[in-house]
Amino acid sequence: MIDKKNIRIKDIAQMAGVSVGTVDRVLHGRGKVSKDAQQKVEDVLNRTGYKPNLIARTLGSNKTLKITALLPDPAQDDYWALAEAGILQSIEEWSYYDVEINCIFFDLYNPGSFKKTTDVVLESKPDGILIAPVFHHESIELLAQLKAHSIPYVLFNTNIPEADPLCFIGQNLVHSGKVAGELLSLAGGTRRTIMSLHIYENRDNSVHLMAKEHGLRQYFQEQPYEVISLDLSTPHEVEDHIREAILNPDLLGIFVTTSKGTYIVAQILEKYSLEHIRLVGYDLLEENLRYLKKGTIDFLINQNPKRMAKIGVNHLVNHLLFQKTLPEKEIFPIEIITRQNLDSYLTSRIH
């Protein structure tokens, strides 16, 4: 009996009753193969679970490719838990190949923690890095060191204008903010004040938050609306400011730039029976979905962190192993989720 782990092309050919050349053509999609022969080879491939050693062929050796993913601690925020899930999917998909994919986490609320990971990343000597650069200044320092060490990297979630990545994966966040503005304005009526809330994160050191707010302000700049921005760092502060803001009879709605912040604001609106205030936020976290179904959250803009992270790893591996050319940017669509389309979205396999 043939050991599936050590199966060779010659073994596949014998089992399928075809030549080695036919197996090679089926595996690599080159040359002509009869439908009957192709079916025989594919049946054996499926039965044995054979995976070609593309790494050895591409690199000319059995060198292990080392990929590092640098992202916030998923235990701190379910958004990053979704991103980690995407990376874990990639790890499973590349398990047949000699690829080592490791995650390094930093504290989402501590730029110093991100800086400390720089030494850890460089000491691990990865062949490529996937990075969520949520701290702007610290990220620039890290990217400069990666460039000095000739380590290629892919950015996801946040694009850094000064950076030179293989690829950026994420949404156009300025457009995302504009969409949020349009969704808020749909409420109509005479109220003309919009609150833009940044919960637990420093807007001045977060390019992604500034881009979202910039888009929001662009949408309203030629309309008679006032946009008030607040950076809130503690639960007590969040609640106090929202309680104060709702005393303003002109308040139309609230835009929250982070996914975790969205359900925190929803909790407060529900607590004070203020569901009439329109709320637009981000992402399909379980708590956000609960408040969306109840009507406390009106719209969620889905950034799809799981898919972002998964594609990021796949792009790195494909580029480093097979020299595939990557797109400069992989821009995700701006998906608007409501109570009405939520179920169909969650059950769809398209995304």
341 falls within a domain: no
Query: For the domain that residue 48 is a member of, what is the CATH number?
Result: 1.10.260.40
Do 192 and 255 fall into the same domain?
Answer: yes
Do 166 and 312 fall into the same domain?
Answer: yes
- Mean pLDDT of all residues in the chain? 89
Nearest to 209 by CA among 152, 282, 140: 282
Query: For the domain that residue 182 is a member of, what is the CATH number?
Result: 3.40.50.2300
Do 239 and 268 fall into the same domain?
Answer: yes
- Computed over its alpha carbons, how large is the radius of gyration of the chain? 24
270 falls within a domain: yes
pLDDT at 51 over 80: no
Number of domains in the chain: 3
> Do 254 and 275 contact (CB within 8 A), yes or no?
no
pLDDT at 245 over 80: no
286 falls within a domain: yes
199 falls within a domain: yes
Strands in the chain per DSSP E: 65-72, 99-106, 128-131, 153-156, 167-170, 193-199, 226-232, 251-256, 278-282, 299-302, 329-331, 335-337
339 falls within a domain: no
The structure's pTM equals: 0.81
Do 294 and 188 fall into the same domain?
Answer: yes
Do 197 and 244 fall into the same domain?
Answer: yes
Do 89 and 16 fall into the same domain?
Answer: no
351 falls within a domain: no
Do 38 and 81 fall into the same domain?
Answer: no
Q: Which domain holds residue 19?
A: 4-52
181-216 pLDDT, tens per residue? 999 999 888 888 999 999 988 788 789 999 999 999
Do 36 and 99 fall into the same domain?
Answer: no
254-278 pLDDT, tens per residue? 999 999 999 999 999 999 888 889 9
Sheet with 167-170, side-by-side order of all strands? 99-106, 65-72, 128-131, 153-156, 167-170, 329-331
Tell whether the torsion through CA atoms of 340, 303, 267 and 249 is positive or negative.
negative
